[in-house]
Each structure stands twice: as C-alpha cells, then as structure tokens.
A = this chain, B = another copy of it.
Amino acid sequence: MVENQDQGPYYQINDTKNPDLLHERRSATFDIELLTQFMFGGPNSYFNINKRRQLTRLAYAHPIHKTHLPLEYLDADEFYALLIRKSFVAIKEAERLNITDRKFLGWFLSVFTNGRFIFGLHTSMFLHTLENMASDEQQEKFLPLARSFQIIGTYAQTELGHGSNVQRLETEAVFDSKTDTFVLNTPTLTATKFWPGALGRSTNYVLLMAQLYTPDRSHPCGLQMFFVQIRDLNTHEPLPGVEVGEISTRFAHEVGDNGYLRLTNVRIPRNQMLMKLAYVDEQGTFHRLGDPRLLYGAMLATRVNLCAFFSILLARAVTIAMRYSAVRRQGQNPDGKETLILDYPLQQEKLVPCLAATYAFFYSFIKLEHFRASILDGDTILFELLPELHAISSGLKAYTSTHGERWSQICRVACGGHGFLVASGIKGINNMLDAGCSYEGDNAVLYQQTARFLLKVIQQLDENTDTNPDSSIAFLYSNKVAPATVVNLDDYCRLFEARSELLLKSMSTRLSELSSSSSTPYSVFSKNSIELVHVAKAYVETFVLRAFYDGVRKASEHKELAVVFEQLFHVFAIDTLRNSAADFIRLKLLTPDQIYHLETYGLPDMYARLRPNLIALVDAFDFHDNELNSCLGRYDGQAYEALMERARLNPANRYKVHPVWTSIKQNAKSKL
C-alpha cells in the first residue's frame, strides 16, 4: 500500500499564492528537486525522502487530524487525551498499512502524532534495551508483549537529584533470597525518578535503573536494569507501593507526560533483572557476563540520531524565517515602496549564516552516521573505534544543540513579534533545541568527554602513525603546513585543523607540566576544564567543516548545485572563523586584517550571490506544511491570512463577553 503513494515533492511552484515568494522561487538558479534528491533522496540515504514523502502523505490523510483545534488551544486534559488517542490510532494505522521497517515505522508514528508520539521511548529505548540487555529467555517472554503494545514501557534512569552523574543514582534493588525477589525502594527524596517520558500517566512498565545489593544489603554491586510493572494491565491503576504522577509543566515536551516515580517495598521476581550482561543466581551471587561495551551501541545510536533531529529542527526554523522574510515588507524607502525584509543586509546577516549552518549540520550528521554504521554494523562492533565515535558524537550532539538553539533564536528574532506566537512554529522549535542542550548528557559534560579522548590521542601520537585518512583525527598525523591565506575551500579546513592541532598540543603540554607537579589528575583536568572544552569545540568545528567540505565536493557532480554549495560553504567557514578570530590571530594562522576582510567584504558578497537562491535552498528541505505547523512559513506564503485565521480560531473568542466580565458587570450593577 505504501508503495503506491506519490513520492514527489509536496508542493509545486504554482502553489505559491504570495507574489513576492513566487518571484523568489522563479529566480532560483537550480532545480530544487535535484538538490532535495542529492541530499536526502533514495533508500541509501538515512533520510530516504521519497519513502518519507509516501509515509507523510499517508499519515496526514487520516481524518483524525481534522477533528481538533490547533494544539495550542487544547487544555491540558484535552491535549493529553488527543495525543494518547492519536498515538494508538497511529499504531493501528501502521499495522493496517503493514509498515514494519523500524525506521519507517518511527517516522510514521511521529508524523502521524505531529511529532508527539507518546510512546516514543517505548519504541526506542525500552525495546532497544530489552533487545540488548535482556537474556534470550527474558526476550522471549517480554518482547512479544512489548512489541504488541500490551506492555508499554519507558526508561527510568534520571532522578530528582542525579542526571549526569549516573553512578550516584539512589534507587535500590536489594536481593531477598528467601523469596527469590528483589525489593525495590526509593530511599530518599532525591532518589525519586523524575523526567522519564510517558511515565506520569501512560506506561504500565518501566525499565528501572537501580543500585543492586546482593546477596544482601551490605554488598553493593553497582547499577543494574530491572523490568518493573507499575500499573495494572486491566485497570491501569498504579500497583501497591507505587507512587507515580506527572511532574510540573515543561516548556518543551509539554505533552510528553514526563513523570515521577517513587517505589516502596515493591517486589519483583529475580528473573526481572535484565540478565544478558550480568546475572544474580538463586543464592544471590552476582556474576558478570559479556562485554559491557555492547551497551554503548544503543546509546551511541541515540546520540547520533539526535544530531539528525537537531538538524531537522534547525532546518524547519530557517525555512519558516526565510519564507516569512520573503513575504513581509517593512521600512521606508526613498522610492516609496516598502522593502522585502529579506533584502535588508541585517536580515541576511541573521539568516544566511544560519542557512549555511543548517547545511553544515546535515553534512556533519551524514558523516557521523556513516562512521557509526562502519563501526556498529548489526552485531559486529569495532571496539577500537568506539572511543572516537563516542568523542565525536558527544561533541557533535553538544555542538548541534547549542548552536541550533542559538540559530533558531535568531530565526525567532528575524520574524519579529509574530515569531513569538506559538502559531509561528519557531519558538517551539527553539524550545526543543534548548531542551536538547540538557537531555541525553549536559553539553558541558559531553564536551569534556570529547576533550578526554583528544588528550589520549595526542599523548599516543608517536605510537600510532598508521591512521585512517578519513578519520576525524587524521589531521593530527598529517604534518601539513597551514595555508597562509584562503585560496581554495580546503584551505578553510586546513586552517581549522591547524588551529585545533595547535590548541590541543599546547593544552597537552600544559597538562603534562601540571601533572608532574603535586596536583591530582582530577584537579588538573577540573582546573583546565574551560580551556579543555574550548579545545573540544575546536575539534568539533574541524569535523563539521570537513564534513561540509565533503558535501561540497560531492556536489561537484552537479554544476548548478556546486556553485551554490561553495557559496554556502564560504559563509559557514567565514562565520565560524570570525567567531574564533582571536584563536586564529594568536596562533598566527591569519592576520587581523585577513579576518576583517573576510568578514566585512567576503560575507556580504556571498550573501548577495546567494540572494536569488535563498528560498530555493530552504524549499529543498521539502517540509510538509503540517510538519512546520507555522502560519509564517507556509509554502503558499499566505502568512497574514493564516495569522488572522488562527487568531479567530482562539477559543478565547467563543464568548462575546467572557464570563468573568459578566460577573463583574453584574456585581457592579447590584452595588448601584
């Protein structure tokens, strides 16, 4: 059934109703669909846009989407009920349509629920963890129930008092050999599980991360994962000993049903500790099995996928802001006509670097995903490359969320006041990216992980000269001299690599001097953590630049694309460079005048060259209007019409006079 759906773009140029936007689309110098296919097309692409278009069309065709007001107008109960209903309908529809491939299924469920599939942690972390940490026997028992949604679970790790420092989680599982059970407890206030998605009111099981004590309380065995029922499968009521509820209101994930959970003497059978990598026998003896690094796989895949997610979010924000800027006119011109705001250099200064960064994000993700796939292919894991994957995926997750948050905020500002409406779609994206700076690893912590890896590499530099030239650290082995000026695009890459190398080497020297003094390695690292993060960022920037450069080289197959890609690359490189200008100057890689020239003449020159293609470059991301959910960013350019229509839909306007005023007026009368 899926196969019969249209694989073409959602819109055609003739769907444009706003004349300014139509003019923009007609002036593009390349074929938009060519670019879309080049970047996102085909089954070999992670994005597989043709398949995605089919699935998206199927999802939005369902009549349920016409049964409700825009989501911002629902109250908390309606919102939650709708998302639960949509989530179950989505599951049924996917079954009916026989969408079985896990990636396609994930897309379909997400699109169907407006990006808010309530059981997203069930289909990702919960299932993955069962598949990777449960013993064969456990998998046989639990997986069919979980896959058919009879058991719906979430992943309960974070506690009120501990996020980054997983080792210090406080939830306890104490083995009781008499009954062959674990006794689960939340011993303190801060041990309360806090934040897990869908936990508050939706899931009936959790995978509980807890400190294991066995054979008795006096023997801590570290963190283990437990498969714990929390609600009755028939009545959906919390089980005895379980206090569960939703935490207070969030700015993003507003309907994610993030929950809290407190357990009091909840008992589970011994075979509900996940036992693939460790097990407890009847006597309560703890045994380790297998390589715990196997667990990394799922965690790393999640982190890599986040980089794609953040890139898509940013692409949405820039699509909205760019299109709106080609619709809105503002300003007094001498000729009496108002200027399209996209024609203002200050607006271009906001949005063009952001657009270029979006392309850089996508190519970084593509390079990262390619690297991940080469290391973690099914059951084979190249363990020796895991540290590098860990380092670059940590760094890139931090980089894309931090910069994505920043860029999307600039997009918000570029849309003026209207950008502050929920209906603009922008501020919501900004909130999602902001949240991304904290979840799945605080960015400051992640950058430090990257720095630790780099320090190890640099210390072993002499030992290992036989490095893969495609590696993210190959430049450390190359002994190439940095170019004195920028002639070719590759010169930017080499300048960034030279900077990264110099920063890393001087940091390494400093640390080894310090560590020979009386300080502990911990305190040396801690005291230099600000600079270490700086070193990590510099390395991530080399990766991003190199990845984007690979994209530009690939684009050389298509002449019309190649020109535009080179311009975008210039913009991204100069913008990134100027933000670290002090480094390049201090390290004598470039002079202040060179950088000034690039910034003051190079950038605006590129803005002007890219100007005719700015709309085409966002159209190429090919978002469905429902995905953007934005009055400002609609494909047809009817921003004002949409804003007015959305305002009129506000349930606040269902009263001619709000009841509070009726009562105030009556009160006033009765006092007369």
Contact = CB atoms under 8 A, between A and B. Distances in A.
Nearest to A247: B647
A438 interface: yes
Contacts of A345: 526-527, 529-530
A646 B196 CA distance: 17
B423 A248 contact: yes
Most central of A85, A189, A201 by chain B CB within 10 Å: A201
A664 B333 CA distance: 61
B586 A164 contact: no
A571 to B, nearest CB: 13
Nearest to A428: B251
A75 interface: yes
Contacts of A444: 346-347, 350
Nearest to A329: B161
A158 interface: yes
B245 A201 contact: no
Nearest to A260: B647
Contacts of A75: 75-76
Contact of A416 (B349, B413, B442, B643): B442
A161 B248 contact: no
A552 interface: no
Contacts of A438: 413, 416-417, 419-420
A247 B417 CA distance: 12
A531 B578 CA distance: 14
A163 B416 contact: yes
B600 A582 contact: no
A611 interface: no
A162 B329 CA distance: 8
A167 interface: yes
A517 interface: no
A666 to B, nearest CB: 11
Interface stretch (A233-241, A316-324, A359-367): A233-241
A50 interface: no
A526 B344 contact: yes
Contact of A662 (B236, B526, B655): B236
B592 A586 contact: yes
A204 to B, nearest CB: 10
Contact of A640 (B84, B160, B582, B653): B160
A541 interface: no
A448 B419 CA distance: 21
A250 B443 contact: no
Nearest to A595: B582
Most central of A189, A444, A647, A653 by chain B CB within 10 Å: A647
A648 B194 CA distance: 12
B600 A246 contact: no
Nearest to A603: B530
Nearest to A578: B582
Nearest to A164: B330
A650 interface: yes
A140 interface: no
A354 to B, nearest CB: 15
A434 B421 contact: no
Contacts of A656: 237-238
A419 B631 CA distance: 29
A450 interface: no
Interface string A401-422: 0000100010011001101111
Nearest to A165: B330
A577 to B, nearest CB: 10
Contacts of A260: 644, 647
B644 A189 contact: yes
A383 interface: no
Contacts of A443: 413
Nearest to A638: B189
Contact of A439 (B334, B412, B417, B649): B417
Give the 8 A-B CB pairs with smallest separation, nearest first.
A586-B592, A581-B582, A245-B653, A81-B660, A72-B249, A246-B652, A75-B75, A247-B647
15 contacts: A70-B248, A162-B330, A165-B331, A189-B641, A192-B644, A235-B665, A238-B656, A246-B652, A249-B423, A334-B522, A345-B530, A346-B533, A419-B438, A578-B582, A582-B596
